[in-house]
């Protein structure tokens, strides 16, 4: 838990630093190929893709960050990587992914870049709609960054 508290404190300090340089926007890159540390009410097993059980952003952490930023006039824009660079989602939802392991030999040769959401799976769209609705309600900014990069 110490690591998590430290991460949250660092984010809060970042918010203060943004004010000092007269910036009012922070893109919170929450997901990455190797970790998905964001707690979801809709999908409780989403954090199976986190580095560890202790390395997650709880609902309270998100609320604290958003409140701190709002009090200082800083916008927090959520970033969720998709359709690729999102291997961590596949820990909980492997059925939503296309196996792209035949891409070995291309620039990046790790399992983290060999999978991407499978657009032929109808359930993918239900999953994304529910997840994005939840996150849009939690992160009040009118903008959400969905990545759109890192797919080979």
Q: Which of 65-79, 80-94, 95-109, 130-144 has the lowest mean pLDDT?
A: 95-109
Whole-number pLDDT of residue 14: 65
Average of per-residue pLDDT across 106-129: 79
Residue count of the chain:
152
pLDDT surpassing 80 at residue 32: no
Residue-wise pLDDT for 70-99, tens only, equals 888 888 889 888 887 788 898 999 999 887
Average of per-residue pLDDT across 19-41: 76
Mean pLDDT across the chain, nearest whole number? 80
Whole-number pLDDT of residue 104: 56
Three-class SS of residue 20? helix
Burial 81-117 (b: 16+ CB within 10 A, else e): bbbbbbbbbbebbeebbbebeeeeeeeeeeebbbbbb
What is the CATH topology of the domain spanning 2-147? TIM Barrel (3.20.20)
**Residue bearing the bigger pLDDT, 67 or 148:** 67
Whole-number pLDDT of residue 51: 87
Grade residue 147 by pLDDT with cuts at 50, 70 and 90: confident
Rounded Cα distance between 107 and 110, Å, is 10
**Residue bearing the bigger pLDDT, 64 or 2:** 64
């Amino acid at each position: 838990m110490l690591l998590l508290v430290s991460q949250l404190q660092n984010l809060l300090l970042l918010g203060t630093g943004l004010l000092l340089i007269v910036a009012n926007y922070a893109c919170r890159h929450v997901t990455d190929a190797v970790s998905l540390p964001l707690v979801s009410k809709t999908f409780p097993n989403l954090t199976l893709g986190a580095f560890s059980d202790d390395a997650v952003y709880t609902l309270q952490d998100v609320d604290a960050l958003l409140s701190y930023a709002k009090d200082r006039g800083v916008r927090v824009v959520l970033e969720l990587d998709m359709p690729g660079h999102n291997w961590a989602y596949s820990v909980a939802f492997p059925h939503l992914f296309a196996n792209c392991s035949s891409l070995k030999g291309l620039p990046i040769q790790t399992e983290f870049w060999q999978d991407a959401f499978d657009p032929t799976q109808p359930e993918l769209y239900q999953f994304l709609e529910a997840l994005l609705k939840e996150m849009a309600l939690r992160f009040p900014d009118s903008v959400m960054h969905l990545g759109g990069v890192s797919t080979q």
